[in-house]
Chains A and B, each alone.
Chain A
Amino acid sequence: MSRTTLDLWVGVFVALGFAALVFLAMKVGGSSELSGASTYAVTAPFDNVGGLKPRAPVKSAGVVVGRVGDIHFDSRNFRAIVRIDLGEHYKFPRDTSASILTSGLLGEQYIGLDPGADTETLKDGDVLEITQSAVVLEKLIGQFMFNKAAETPSRP
Chain B
Amino acid sequence: MSALAGVLRRIGAMTVDGLWRLGFATRFFLTLLRYSGQSFRRLPLTIREIYFSGVLSLLIILVSGLFVGLVLGLQGYDILQRFGSSDALGIMVALSLLRELGPVVAALLFASRAGSAVTAEIGLMKTTEQLQAMDMMAVNPIARVAAPRFWGGVISMPLLAAMFSAMGIFGGWLIGVVAIGVDDGAFWSQMRASVDFRHDVLNGVIKSFVFGAAVSLIAVFEGYDCQPTAEGVSRAITRTVVSSALAILALDFVLTSFMFRGL
Residues of A within 8 A of B (CB): 1, 3, 6-7, 9-10, 12-14, 16-18, 20-21, 23-25, 27-32, 35-36, 53-55
Contact B162 A17 (CB under 8 A): yes
Provide a sorted-by-A list of 13 A–B residue pairs whose CB atoms are within 8 angstroms: A6-B48, A9-B51, A10-B54, A12-B55, A13-B50, A13-B159, A17-B159, A20-B165, A24-B162, A24-B165, A28-B94, A28-B169, A32-B196
Q: Looking at chain A's contact residues, is the secondary structure mostly helix, strand, loop, or mixed?
A: helix
Q: Knowing A16-B159, A18-B159 are in contact, say whether A25-B55 is a contact too (CB < 8 A).
A: no
Task: Contact check, B198 vs A36: say whether CB atoms are below 8 A apart.
Answer: yes
Q: Is the CB of B197 within 8 A of A10?
A: no
List residues of chain B with CB within 8 A of the CB of A20: 159, 162-163, 165-167
Contact A31 B47 (CB under 8 A): no
Partner of A10, one of B47, B163, B195: B47
Asked if B263 and A55 sit within 8 Å, CB to CB, the answer is: yes
Smallest CB–CB gap between B204 and chain A, Å? Answer: 8
With A13-B55, A21-B205, A53-B263 as given contacts, are A29 and B159 in contact (CB-CB < 8 Å)?
no
Indicate if the CB atoms of B192 and A28 lie closer than 8 Å.
yes
**How would you classify the secondary structure of chain B's contact residues: helix, strand, loop or mixed?**
helix
Given contacts A31-B193, A32-B197, A54-B263, contact A24 B98 (CB under 8 A): yes
User: A12 CA to B56 CA in the complex, in Å?
Assistant: 12
Q: Nearest residue in A to B198 (C-beta to C-beta)?
A: A35
The 6 A-B residue pairs whose C-beta atoms are closest, nearest first, are A17-B159, A30-B192, A32-B197, A29-B197, A20-B166, A20-B162
Which residue of chain A has its CB nearest to the CB of B50? A10
- How close is B92's CB to chain A, nearest CB, in angstroms? 13
Q: Which residue of A lies closest to B162 (CB)?
A: A20
